[in-house]
Chain A
Amino acid sequence: MEREFSATGRQSCVRPFDQACLPNAFRMFFCLALGAVLFSCSSPPPAPSETAPEEVNSLPPRYIIVFIIHGDGGYLYHDTDGNKFRADEEAVNSAKIVAERNSQAEVFIFHEKRKKHFLFLFPRHDGEFYYYRNGQFLAQESYWRDHGQSRFDPEIELYNRFRAEERSRPKKFFLYFGHEIPEIDGKGYDASHKDRSFTVTDLVDGLKHFNQNSTKFDLIALSTCFNGTPHTIAALSPYAEYIIASPGNLHLSYFDLQPFEALDIGLRDGDVSSLAMMCARQSFERLTKDVQTEISIAVYDVDRVQTFLNSVNSVYDLTLTTLKDKPSKSIEHCDCSEDSAYLQPAISDGIEVFFRPAKFGRSKQKQVHSGWECLRLLN
């Protein structure tokens, strides 16, 4: 199957103008500005290690990794020495290392960036896509995130355009980095697209299209706060064998991607569950060194958590319906085990929880977490 690897097919970032009516001086300014815009939107330099597609194609990828990294919001964090980091940029860099170090992986990295303007007028692309196959950096494209009916339409189009033909069943991973994905409302998730909404339903819609051959992702990781809820895990269940998510707070420095850097070793026995546990444990250990806020990471074995999910789905859905019209400031998160309706016999089945309470604050004495987060109205 023929594939296009050059950074062509980019969408134009220039809107039509009627030059005929412009006075000369303004036309000159216009031309200079236009030139600058075209320059600013020009293709990125060619990939340093570009390889002939046919050479790369000869090895069918054993792993497919899709990274969606949201960066359109408040993602600044400081380490304990006061150094500043952008969580999204750090995640993109880590994802590139994963892509370069896996010689048998096909890696799609989508960076959802803040919308910016050149010369305060001309919008610039707010999405950046990087494509790697078998350790080789093959393509980079800028794209518009708001082109499409569904949230992930632009990403899915790029995914379908670049992906290699699957000759055997590869291990598939979907890794999302960002703030908590809301279960209701979802307006304001993107700082520069305030009118757009993003909810777990939109994520599920995207997963459906990333998964057109109906094979589940072996692992979905949500590197976000508070997405380890019965609703989110149930919604993702048809698309994943294992899920890693945080039922509470997760520091912006995110999950540790180091276990993904050598998948041939990490998945030597084809055991995704061990890889998921290693990723959760390493992330937990790294975060506990410097982070003073709560750390909670859970690994969900999707088949084994279904009994619990089935027993609480109606309760949780009722809560969501009740809270739908309430102001977000009147809603708080809590460990589901604090609500008797969720204290079902199967609450601990199929879930491994890594938890350490915040070192300060009202919950510093809390010693365990069920791994399930719920919502409730503030008293």
Chain B
Amino acid sequence: MLGKTAIRLAVMIFVMSLAGIAQGQDKLQNYFSDAAGKVKVTTDPTEKREILNKSFEKMTKALNSVQGSPLVSKDDKASMEHFKVVLKEKQDELAGINGFERVPDEQLNDFSDYVVQDMEQATETVTLSLVALLLIILIAVLI
């Protein structure tokens, strides 16, 4: 099992490093779009919140792990710090803490679209290096 995962990861790294940084960004955008897709097929608001919360937590954990890696630059680390702040704001809004009104149950689908669209426009993901993007995605998949 571990061997298979390792091979898959190696192939993924190879293919993505050939395809370049844009592919890395695409994977990151797909991550949030997949979460939004799952939110929309669920009718239970509690489950919707759980999916969104989990997606923020997994990504934050991945960012924390990659920030500690010697493979990423100082600029990348600063970008990731900013990215984490953006994620935390969304997580707070979902929960209705730190000055945010809680996202109403009937708006959770729209909120999941907001997360996707905001990430697609966010410059902090655009400026990450390929190495950083690859590591973030790989770790987020593994967690």
Q: Measuring CB to CB, which residues of chain A are less than 8 angstroms from any residue of chain B?
A: 72-78, 80, 82, 84, 114, 116, 120, 179-180, 188, 191-192, 225, 249, 251-252, 290-293, 327-329, 358-362
| Majority secondary structure, B binding face | helix
- Picked from B26, B82, B107, B110, the residue with its CB within 8 Å of the CB of A76 is B26
Give the nearest-CB partner of A182 in chain B: B123
| Residue numbers in A under 8 Å from B103 (CB-CB) | 360
- Give the contacts of B111-126 with A (CB-CB under 8 A): 111, 113-114, 116-118, 120-121, 123-126
A293, B115: Cα distance in complex, Å? 9
Query: Which residue of A114, A116, A179, A329 has the most chain B CB atoms within 10 A of its CB atom?
Result: A329
Of B17-25, B55-63, B135-143, the segment with at least 4 beta carbons within 8 Å of chain A is B17-25
Further 13 A-B residue pairs, CB within 8 A, beyond A191-B22, A292-B114: A74-B26, A74-B29, A76-B120, A77-B120, A78-B29, A78-B33, A82-B36, A188-B127, A249-B121, A251-B120, A290-B113, A292-B117, A292-B118
| Residue numbers in B under 8 Å from A290 (CB-CB) | 113
A78–B120 CB distance below 8 A: yes
| Residue numbers in B under 8 Å from A76 (CB-CB) | 22, 25-26, 29-30, 120
| Residue numbers in A under 8 Å from B118 (CB-CB) | 292-293, 358, 361
| Residue numbers in B under 8 Å from A180 (CB-CB) | 123
A225, B121: Cα distance in complex, Å? 8
B114–A293 CB distance below 8 A: yes
B89–A362 CB distance below 8 A: yes
A358, B90: Cα distance in complex, Å? 13
A72, B114: Cα distance in complex, Å? 24
- Closest chain-B Cβ to A55's Cβ sits at a distance in Å of 41
A192, B25: Cα distance in complex, Å? 13
A359, B114: Cα distance in complex, Å? 8
Chain B positions 88 through 132: 1 when the CB is less than 8 Å from some CB of chain A, otherwise 0: 010001000001100100010011011011101101111100000
Closest 3 A/B residue pairs (Cβ): A292-B114, A74-B25, A78-B33
Asked if B78 is at the interface of the complex by the 8 Å CB criterion, the answer is: yes
Q: Measuring CB to CB, which residues of chain B are less than 8 angstroms from any residue of chain A?
A: 18, 20-22, 25-26, 29-30, 33-34, 36-37, 75, 78-79, 81-82, 89, 93, 99-100, 103, 107, 110-111, 113-114, 116-118, 120-121, 123-127
- Picked from B22, B30, B114, the residue with its CB within 8 Å of the CB of A73 is B22
| Residue numbers in B under 8 Å from A188 (CB-CB) | 127
B18–A82 CB distance below 8 A: no
Query: Which residue of B21, B78, B121, B127 has the most chain A CB atoms within 10 A of its CB atom?
Result: B121
- Closest chain-A Cβ to B111's Cβ sits at a distance in Å of 6
A180, B36: Cα distance in complex, Å? 26
B29–A360 CB distance below 8 A: no
| Residue numbers in A under 8 Å from B81 (CB-CB) | 329
- Closest chain-A Cβ to B80's Cβ sits at a distance in Å of 10
| Residue numbers in A under 8 Å from B114 (CB-CB) | 292-293, 358-361
| Residue numbers in A under 8 Å from B111 (CB-CB) | 292, 360
B37–A329 CB distance below 8 A: no
A358, B34: Cα distance in complex, Å? 22
- Picked from B20, B100, B121, B123, the residue with its CB within 8 Å of the CB of A191 is B20
Give the nearest-CB partner of B82 in chain A: A329
B93–A360 CB distance below 8 A: yes
- Closest chain-B Cβ to A78's Cβ sits at a distance in Å of 4
A328, B75: Cα distance in complex, Å? 10
